[in-house]
Every structure is written in C-alpha cells, then in structure tokens.
Amino acid sequence: MTDAGHGENDGVDSALDYVIDHKTRLTMAVVEDALTRGDAVLAYQPIVQADRPSLSAFHEGLIRIVDNTGRFIPLRDFMPDAETTELGRRIDCASIALGLHALQQDSALRLSVNMSARSIGHPVWTETLRRGLARDERIAERLILEVTESSAMTMPELVIPFMRDLQGRGASFALDDFGAGHTSFRYLREFNFDMIKIDGQFIRKIAHQPDNQVLAAALQAIAHHFDMFTVAESVETADEAAYLINMGIDCLQGYYFGAPTITPPWKTPKAAAR
C-alpha cells in the first residue's frame, strides 16, 4: 500500500508540475511578444536619505512588462525563470534602454537600473549601454547599476573589470538583495560596490524582531567596513523607518516612502510647484 500510495502521489505531482511548467512557458511567450512590441515601461520608486527622509537620494527604475490587454505581467510569474535565459537578457536590454532615455530627458535625475551579471558582454545590452552613454558622457555620473547578489557571485571574473571600467567613467554600482544569497566576502572586498541594498527579509518588522535587528546590523557593519553606503529595502511602516534611521542606515526604500509609479514623481504638478 505504501508503494501504491507513492505512485499515486507521483502522478499528482507530475500533473501539477506539467501545469505549472505549461503556464510558465505561456507567460514567457507573452513577455517575449510584449518586448518585441516595445511594451515595457519603468516604474519609479524613491530611495530617500535617512537623515532627510523628505528628500530622494535617487530613484530605482523597475521594469514593468505590459501584455496585449494593457495589464502588467507580475514579475514573479516570469523573472525567476527568465533570469538565466536569453529572455532575461532582453529584459535587461529594455531596462537599460528605458533608464538611459529617462536620464537623458531629465538632467537632475539620478536613477538605478537593475541588471544581471549575465548581461555583461551580451552584445545587444553592451551596445545599448555604449550608445546611451555616448550621447552624453555625463549621464554615467547619474547612473547606478544594481547587480543581483546571486548573479554577481557566480561570475566575479566578469563583474570586477566591468565595474572598474564604468566606475572610472562616473557610474555607481549597488549590490542588490544583500544577504539573500551566499555572499563570498572575499569577492565582496574585490568588487568594490558603492552601496549595498539589504534584502527586505531582514528589514520587515525589524522594530519588533530581535533576529532581524541583529542580522541587519551585521550586514550594515560589513557594508560600512568596506566603505559602502547602505540602503534598507522594503520599509513599510513608521516603526521600521524610525528603527533603521536610529540604527544608522544611510538610505531607505519601500512603500512607506512611496510605491513604484510609472508616472515620474518629479514630473507631477505637486513636484513642479516646489
């Protein structure tokens, strides 16, 4: 009976896996079509200075893919699977193109754009970056490239020289989702990131969770030891913000300070009236 039971469960699991895989492949195809049409936009979220929370230090440009009905396709439905594929490179290409265009349109904007280390050396992504910076070399000084921790640690031999070259031209780099992966601290020293973004799992409910307090403080200490600015991600409440400010975090990001919006906040009537 035990063997039979396992067999039945295996059949259910296989059927479920098939459904999930089929849905993922359909979603990836929809994303491919959207990128071909150019249906991608950036949603902008502010990152504020801890000592002056009313002021934005910069904005993060988060890619949003739009299907043929005008609906945003949730990132969680495709990004984990796309990350290691050619589709992931196309998403990075769309992100950097949109980010560079925004920087060109507004000379006061400082913007971070997400990328995977796997896009380094990709011909289309590299050419998109080259063309964007060639239009105005000063754009590099307002560009921050956010590299995911998981991808950076897999190919340091590509990331380190790439970072040094662009930092020499004025660009900055952020290590995204710090603490979420398996960081090699030897590589962290060699990378020389300008800032780290502490993963939201260590930030949520930090005002009331001693474990998160200890872990976030440890990550902050590592960052400051290597002369990197710290950004706390996923700040959602006043208590969390107050705790992090008192803790000495440099910058904060999260829904408490502003949700991502496809309408650039600096172009709203309220912003223009300041």
Which mean pLDDT values do the consecutive 10-residue runs of the chain (274 residues) have?
Answer: 53 56 84 97 97 94 96 92 94 98 95 96 96 94 94 90 96 93 73 94 97 96 93 98 97 97 78 48
- Residue in 181, 211, 214 with CA at minimum distance from that of residue 196: 181
Provide the pLDDT for residue 57: 96
Provide the pLDDT for residue 266: 74
Provide the pLDDT for residue 137: 85
Dihedral sign for Cα 66, 68, 71, 76, please: negative
Q: How many domains does the chain have?
A: 1
Output b/e per residue, 106-123; b: 16+ Cβ within 10 A.
Answer: eeebbbbbbbbbbbbebe
Which domain, by its residues, includes 167?
2-272
CATH number at residue 135: 3.20.20.450
Q: Structure tokens of 149?
A: 């921790």
For the whole prediction, is pTM greater than 0.85? yes
Provide the pLDDT for residue 9: 62
Provide the pLDDT for residue 12: 52
Q: Structure tokens of 140?
A: 């590099």
Provide the pLDDT for residue 271: 54
Return d(Cα 30, Cα 65) in angstroms, integer. 9
